[in-house]
Amino acid sequence: MFDYRSMFDLSGKSALVVGAGSGIGRAGSHGLSAFGAEVICADVNAENAQRTAQEIEAEGYKGQALELDMCDPSSVRAAVELIESPDVLVATPSINVRKPLLEITDEEFDRVVELNLKGTFRLIRDFGRGMAERGSGSIIAFSSIRAQTVEPGQGIYAATKAGVVQMLRALAAELGERGVRVNAIAPGIVETPLTNQIKNIPQWYEAYAQKTILGRWSEAHELVGAIVYLASDASSYVTGSLMLVDGGWTAADGRYIPPL
Ligand SMILES: NC(=O)c1ccc[n+]([C@@H]2O[C@H](COP(=O)([O-])OP(=O)(O)OC[C@H]3O[C@@H](n4cnc5c(N)ncnc54)[C@H](O)[C@@H]3O)[C@@H](O)[C@H]2O)c1
């Protein structure tokens, strides 16, 4: 009989979470450790990575910190030498410059693409190699509802988030036979430092809440179920997928509730 109770068990597995210092990466680090994984909490902000690792240790789980800048190829290579190939890689970091396309500078374009697309590429390439050699692994990177729907001011961010999905699908297709699964998570609206700009404008914040079917924003811990699922054997037949965790944002039009 299949052991259903251990489907989500991550005991004995190592997980590298890049972006562990804040928001979804921080919550994901907590969640993965709670399910048994030994979590390496990596972030360009070494202090915040350390804080997350200490929180995990204080809870009685296994966590360690690592300073890692995914925009710096040598920093990623050094991390690969240190950790070799973790069982699970979670890549969260991204930035958004919310401006009309006609006003975006080349420098802003490069900054967003460099982190969101190229940085994610560097991580999945450099850690994917070790996983492929070993013949197992789960790679999880972050897209967004902006891979599917846009609004003014989201052009470059949306392009990177759609690009990440296609890049991950290609990697899934390339590594499937070698035992490595590759999936993307698309959050809707999550209260983290990334969305502070929106929270500070009440009309914007409330309009976003009302656009979802659930009528509210999510908190970072509400993304953790998807992370643990995709990291664990519970998703052993899931690869190349885009998992929406968006409170129904993309399912319903949301502009008007008819008087039925
Ligand atoms: N928050 C939302 O509403 C929302 C919505 C849709 C998608 N997402 C996606 O979810 C992911 C996580 O977002 P979040 O809200 O947790 O963001 P966040 O800003 O709270 O955290 C990002 C973390 O990445 C780290 N980081 C930045 N540059 C880095 C680098 N070069 N190397 C290593 N680490 C670096 C930051 O220090 C920070 O700790 C992103 O990909 C984002 O696009 C978020």
pLDDT in tens, 151-180: 999 999 999 999 999 999 999 999 999 999
pLDDT (average), residues 67-90: 97
CA of 93 to the centre of ligand 1 (A): 4
Ligand 1 pocket test, pick from 150, 192, 243 with the greatest ligand atom count within 8 Å of Cβ, gives 192
pLDDT in tens, 9-55: 999 999 999 999 999 999 999 999 999 999 999 999 999 999 999 99
**pTM of the entire structure?**
0.98
Is the CB–ligand 1 distance for residue 18 below 6 Å? yes
CA of 43 to the centre of ligand 1 (A): 10
What is the set of domains in the chain, with CATH numbers? Answer: 10-190+221-245 (3.40.50.720)
Please give the number of the atom of ligand 1 that sits closest to the Cα of 218.
Answer: 3
- pLDDT at position 256: 81
CA of 257 to the centre of ligand 1 (A): 33
Q: Which residues are catalytic?
A: 157
- The bridge status of strand 88-91 relative to strand 137-142 is parallel
Task: Indicate whether 199 pLDDT > 90.
Answer: yes
Task: Indicate whether 78 pLDDT > 90.
Answer: yes
